[in-house]
A and B are shown apart, each in its own frame.
Chain A
Amino acid sequence: MEILKWGMLAFLVLPVPFVLGMIPVKYMDRAQKTPAMTYLCGCFLSFAVFETVAVPFILLEKSFTALAVAYTVIIGVLFIYALSGIRQALASYRGWFRDFCSEPVYVKARWAAAFALIGAQMLYAVCFEYYDGDDSYYIAMSVLTDTFDTMYLRDAYSGYISQLDTRHAFSPAPIYQTWLSRLSGIAPAAVAHTMLAAVWLLLMYCVFSQIGARLLDKEKRNYRPVFMILIAVWFAFGNISLYTTETFAMTRTWQGKGLMAGIVLPALLLCFLNLAADGINKGIMALLVCVILSAVFATSVSFMLIPTVSGLAAVLIGLKNKDIKISVMILAACIPCILLGGLYLVMS
């Protein structure tokens, strides 16, 4: 029975996002049609949909069960829609697979080293626990949501009834973990500490692998695995203070803050790299919107950070491409974040 529960959880965090990712990837260039890009697109799509669906339910103080049903139905419909194009999507990976197989042996050896480093980090995340005080809010909120079927209406520390916690209500990453827990039957603490700690590390390295692929093309292509090795070592040795991106990404991978630092912001960089290189692309624009909504899903810091970074990127990429349309599109992608930020300020 327990193995079935873990199997269900693994299904929800691995194949489901992968299949969902085929929707935006369909509109991307051939170079972007890779399994890593598909997986990361699917993860960001599922976070963005959760943010969009969950916030109204939370603010209207509806039950978690109602949210879980609504989100499951939407994800189910998207999953079936994505499945209808699976043959076409899998065919598009043939080019990527052929390229990978035709790599020289020494490049394959470099990839093997990169995979080994990343695999070791994932294994460590599963086998070792890390004490972080903030879990007693985030995971506690997940547990209380599951127990009482309410969202942000209980004090995470005592369990007593409280007013709606508007500070956290706009960033429902813990509620998403409750959804994973409810559907799989695995407790929220185990979902976060054993499954997401490893799987979101994989997601993080998927994002960096796509950044590496974007930066190192043509004659520098063979250095992609070297870039990944250096990134993996950089993160492993990134604990230079309590405050760095790397500390948050490696020790609090499952928390919204860790998600923001290690995954969402690099994914934003990936979107900008693609937009600067290729101009407007439907698939990348869809990913950008999902990444921006995922930033809000992760943490309320996004209300200040995302418009700033996106605004600067819009100006710079617009100037580089000599195209005001791309600037407008990037700024337009920020509108959901700005609207939610405005509502956050009003409610706080």
Chain B
Amino acid sequence: MIQTIGAVFEDIVLYNGKSILFLLFLAALVFLWSVEKNKGVRTVLLYLPAAEAAIFVCPLYAWVGMKIDKAIYYRVFWALPAGVLVCYALVTLMARMDTFKGRIAVFVMALAVICLNGRLVYTNSLHFRASNAYHIPSQVIDVAEALKLDNYKPIAVLPAELLPFFRQYSGDVFTPYGRNVIEPQWHFENELYDAMEGNPNEYDAAEVARCARDEHCVYVVLSSAKQINGSMEEQNYFLLNFVQGYCIYMDYNYYEVLKDQNLLDADVIERGNAAAEMK
């Protein structure tokens, strides 16, 4: 039980960040408790959040909640209407001022409190100007288009930086793993991923080819920002395309099989034949 109390406290601290959110919430609650006359508003905006807060920090409730999923217990705090409570308290305070200057002063103070307490969501480093309506990097779209076949859904292994976005654009290409392999807390392990990403500066062509064949990959997509130890051509792959800094290699064995079954697009056959001639 003590562990549960500690976990709830930890959730509150994490939720609150470095702000005074919970303090503002409590201040608004106390202020409205003393001035709000409307019984309906008091019931829903004061008694209900107070009761919710008491339940959410109750060790028994928290224990049950954390049994279901400890990592997301903090989401119960979404039910506390902190924004409505604080903004309504500020508006109520403003309305109680007798003079125009007083109301303006409260309004400016309100804006200052909200801005200083919080952090502008748009200054988050994960915001970028969108380059397309999909809101995903354009190289993902170009690589996905280059890998797509009209009559067959191939398996392709991709560099880690493309994984979070690739499936958001295309369901026409399978991948041995996706974003799940990137998240360390999910402890997902894959030999091919280790071969692709184990060395940040270099690919070992033999190892990548071996692991990719174990996973039945038709394509291997390698970043041109990294060196290749050996060459994919030596491993019986040919360079199908070069797209936005990514080399798309096709396994010659799969090429032959798919070609025999008439599953390849004309442009892929053309490039495969050209590669065979050069060989």
Report A's interface with B, CB cutoff 8 A.
124, 126-133, 135-137, 139-140, 143-144, 146-148, 156-160, 186-190, 193-194, 208, 211, 215-216, 219-220, 223, 226-227, 230-231, 233-248, 250-251, 257, 260-261, 265-266, 269, 272-273, 276-277, 301, 304-305, 308-309, 312-313, 316-317, 319-320
Contact = CB atoms under 8 A, between A and B. Distances in A.
B41 A215 contact: yes
Interface in B128-181: 128-131, 133-136, 153, 163-165, 167-181
A305 B72 CA distance: 12
Contact of A266 (B18, B61, B84, B119): B84
Contacts of B75: 243, 257, 260-261, 301, 305
B88 A215 contact: yes
A251 B177 CA distance: 26
Contacts of A230: 87, 90-91, 110-111, 114
Interface stretch (B47-55, B199-207, B232-240, B241-249): B47-55
Contacts of B184: none
B118 A317 contact: no
B222 interface: no
B94 interface: yes
Closest 6 CB pairs of A and B: A157-B178, A147-B171, A237-B118, A241-B17, A129-B135, A193-B135
Contacts of B61: 308
Contacts of B180: 157
Interface in B32-48: 38-41, 43-45, 47-48
State the majority secondary structure of interface residues on A. helix
Contact of A208 (B48, B74, B84, B121): B84
A186 B92 CA distance: 45
A239 B40 contact: no
Contacts of B111: 230, 233
26 contacts: A126-B130, A129-B130, A130-B127, A130-B128, A139-B167, A157-B180, A159-B153, A159-B175, A189-B169, A220-B91, A223-B94, A234-B118, A237-B121, A239-B123, A240-B18, A244-B15, A244-B21, A265-B79, A269-B45, A276-B39, A276-B43, A308-B55, A309-B79, A312-B48, A316-B43, A316-B47
Contact of B136 (A129, A148, A159, A272): A129
Nearest to A141: B167
B31 interface: no
Contact of B122 (A190, A227, A236, A308): A236
A244 B22 CA distance: 11
Contacts of B276: none
B82 interface: yes
B169 A193 contact: no
B253 interface: no
B55 to A, nearest CB: 6
A133 B15 contact: no
B222 to A, nearest CB: 19
A233 B86 CA distance: 12
Nearest to A156: B167
B2 interface: no
B15 to A, nearest CB: 5
Given A136-B165, A272-B48, A144 B126 contact: no
B114 A216 contact: no
A223 B89 CA distance: 12
A226 B51 contact: no
B65 A304 contact: yes
A227 B93 CA distance: 12
Given A237-B114, A301-B72, 16 more contacts: A124-B122, A127-B129, A127-B130, A128-B128, A129-B130, A135-B164, A136-B178, A139-B167, A158-B174, A159-B167, A233-B115, A237-B118, A240-B119, A244-B21, A248-B78, A250-B121
Q: Which of A130, A189, A190 gathers the greatest number of chain B CB atoms within 10 Å?
A: A189
Contact of B128 (A131, A137, A227, A265): A131
Contact of A261 (B11, B78, B131, B179): B78
A208 B85 CA distance: 12
A266 B68 CA distance: 24
A240 B65 contact: no
B60 interface: no
B48 A316 contact: yes
A124 B124 CA distance: 13
Contact of A144 (B64, B81, B171): B171
Contacts of B164: 131, 133, 135-136
Contacts of B178: 136, 140, 156-158
Given A135-B168, A272-B48, A128 B130 contact: yes
A310 B267 CA distance: 60
A74 to B, nearest CB: 27
